[in-house]
Structure 1
């Protein structure tokens, strides 16, 4: 099915509900004529939205789900309702090979818990990780992980994250040998925790992998385009991500305030509008939407809860590219290289 990816969509997840999720599927389908969809949600609500988009006729099938996961549901509560909710049934479709990947804009904790329980971790992976594409000043976006799935990680986990992140970069960005760096408080080899230094030593020794390890990187260099993959534990990664998002909002709000402070500023805004539009486009999270739970026996993509149609389409596009480029096979091959190298050593 790699040539014709079928994507299971949790149509009830996210702030926009079925309207935004189905419009996102329409946009994604216009970009990729090979895509097909399973739409999970309340049948009447989903059918009403689908009727507004005849271009999906024959390419989307409605799968009734009597319940939906709310943003307030705890992961333990969500797991107990996996067989009756749109999120749980979308994941089950991946497990049962009815779909190649699942996309949801719903509760992140619930999605992670249900995905891990249903799909299980890949052989050779201790813990799955949450990865996302982030904008940079370089030619490509960067892949960053873990962004919150694991608050504490040892050196082995970080090495596995590097392998998974590099495979994701190869699939989503088309990079043959991505540059990988570990997030640290300094670039010197002696800086950081024992786990970081141990992970760095292991990655330097694994020169046969489909990645290039380029040492440590500090947080103030994340957006400079100096690496293709940034690896860290989920605690630091989540803080770094939220800091970057907050800084982006701060900059855009500051510019908006500056450009509306006087008549002269408003004239200046009109003159510089092409540049500010480019900035807004570059910082818009919808243009980089689609976080992935790496390390599971199946592909699950998390869309921002507040994503617009463009954002949902981008998340679906990420899922489709990972299916088409056989992400998990690439991860498994590199993990086997590590095991063979360790056995020989």
Structure 2
């Protein structure tokens, strides 16, 4: 069986090309007969300085031009042609968004990042979690609902997703949300406004939110979770359950750390995954392997 091919961009993330290329070299250790993939690095000229072709091993390395934009365009073109199955990158959301618009349904206003969160009812999904920080056009929410619903049905096994529009009240909303509600009224699965408690109870399968709120929710989730674990461990210790108190923080930190949720899908242009910009080489290498667990061999 032909290995899957994952594309990535050299000039991306907080640590730049050297860290991305190092991650690509490390990634081969995560390959197995059931999880086999090749990596394609798209890089502007000079990005591979300090690495030899012997270092690259199974990595295909393409120089694309003199600009960061040339990397993104080359990767998206390769994805459209079918030369690669997916893109995984810590590239900033703004640059990915700008390029993605050229490779998706023109009727959709903007793509959005979608991420899964553990809730009382199991894994539930949020979009957007960082692609569009402020939404002024209600049609953006309508587009996210369409993209998100399709993804949950086709790839998450949720036949009839319940979709809620994030709000702090079930009655009042600012004008953009009010207009979005009107556009979504009658959309399959739309249940109206959804307060945070409803989402965390697992009563909503897909929560529509602007990128600022979604990204804040993502970051708060990890920190509030770890704070709660610390409080529980302290209570266990005071009650005399010392072994449990010692074990709990380590167990839950592994569950709540963003290392367990390294990639999020950019809905719209195909199998394009964004990782945290702060990923070091080891984390980014794991992110490549995580992408292969998605059905990227199938059309998006």
TM range (shorter): 0.7 to 0.9
Residues in 1 aligned to 2:146 and 2:100: alpha-carbon distance in whole angstroms: 20
Measured at CA, do residues 170 and 293 of structure 1 come closer, stay the same or move farther in structure 2, by a change above 3 Å?
Answer: same
Could you tell me how far 1:288 is from its partner in structure 2? 1.4
2:169 alignment counterpart: 186
Partner of 1:169: 152
Question: Which residue number corresponds to residue 45 of structure 1?
Answer: 51
Q: Partner residue of 1:271?
A: 244
- Unaligned 5+ segments in structure 1 are 52-56, 68-79, 328-345
Q: How many residues align?
A: 291
Query: Structure 1 residue aligned with 2:117, among 128, 134, 158?
Result: 134
Distance 1:250-1:274 versus aligned 2 partners, 3 A rule: closer
Higher helix share: 1
Cα RMSD after superposing both structures: 3.7
Between the aligned partners of 2:33 and 2:155, the Cα distance in structure 1 is 15
Per-residue CA deviation, residues 255-289 of structure 1 (Å, 9 max, x unaligned), is 78x59xxxx67x85533445434422221112112
Q: Structure 1 residues 227, 45: closer, same or farther in 2, change over 3 A? A: farther
Give yes or no for the alignment of 1:8 onto 2:7.
yes
Q: How many angstroms does 1:231 deviate by?
A: 0.3
Superposed displacement of residue 125, structure 1: 0.7
Q: Which residue of 2 aligns with 1:124?
A: 107
Structure 1 residues 140-155: aligned runs within 5 Å: 140-155=123-138
Paired position in structure 2 for 1:332: none
Distance 2:186 2:52 in 1: 52
1:305 and 2:280 are equivalent in the alignment: no
Q: Does 1:231 align with 2:208?
A: yes
Q: Displacement of 1:252 after TM fit?
A: 5.5
CA distance in 1, matches of 2:131, 2:226: 21
Between the aligned partners of 1:240 and 1:169, the Cα distance in structure 2 is 20
Give the C-alpha shift of residue 50 in structure 1: 3.8
Q: Does 1:109 align with 2:94?
A: yes
Q: For structure 1, which segment, 194-203 or 128-137, has the greater mean C-alpha deviation from structure 2 after superposition?
A: 194-203
Q: CA deviation at 1:104?
A: 0.8
Unaligned runs of 5+ in 2: none
Shift of 1:320: 6.2
